[in-house]
Amino acid sequence: MMLLAMALATTTPSPLTDAHQDDIACVAVLATLAEKQRLGSAPLDAPDVRQQGKRWAGIVGSRITEQSGQPRELVAVAMAEAAKAEFQRPSNLARINMCVVQMTTELATADLVDQPLHKPVTSK
């Protein structure tokens, strides 16, 4: 147990990859859309992402923290800063739809993983 603790303590966090940055950018796009939807200023043809977006942001944050070894707080700050920057830009429906597809796919996968195991069939 002590060796595991020492190994974990000496693990150096790795920089965020381009894939991590892309995920953070998508979370920012959807967080911005959710806020604009809350304020009533979102494009009317954009899908409602207020509930699913929160859940997906948590999944992305956990994945990036796990893969990079960066502290959860640092990943959260990166997401918040990206969202602040994104909020200043006009809505891009093509980018929104691309991020919604990614979010929907990952949430569906997470739902499958979270399914309870089937009860075993017993023979009589």
Q: Indicate whether 8 belongs to any domain.
A: no
Render each residue's pLDDT in the chain as its tens digit; 124 residues.
Answer: 555 455 455 568 899 999 999 999 999 999 999 999 999 999 999 999 999 999 999 999 999 999 999 999 999 999 999 999 999 999 899 999 999 999 999 999 998 887 665 666 666 6
Q: Is residue 6 domain-resident?
A: no
Spatial neighbors of 34 by CB under 8 A, at least 6 apart, are 49, 50, 53, 54
* pTM: predicted TM-score of the whole model, two decimal places: 0.79
Say if residues 103 and 52 touch (Cβ distance below 8 Å). Answer: yes
Domain boundaries, position 56: 16-106
Q: Which two tokens stand for residue 95?
A: 């980018």
* Residue 24 falls inside a structural domain: yes
Question: Is 53 contained in some domain?
Answer: yes
Looking at the structure of the chain, the number of domains it has is 1
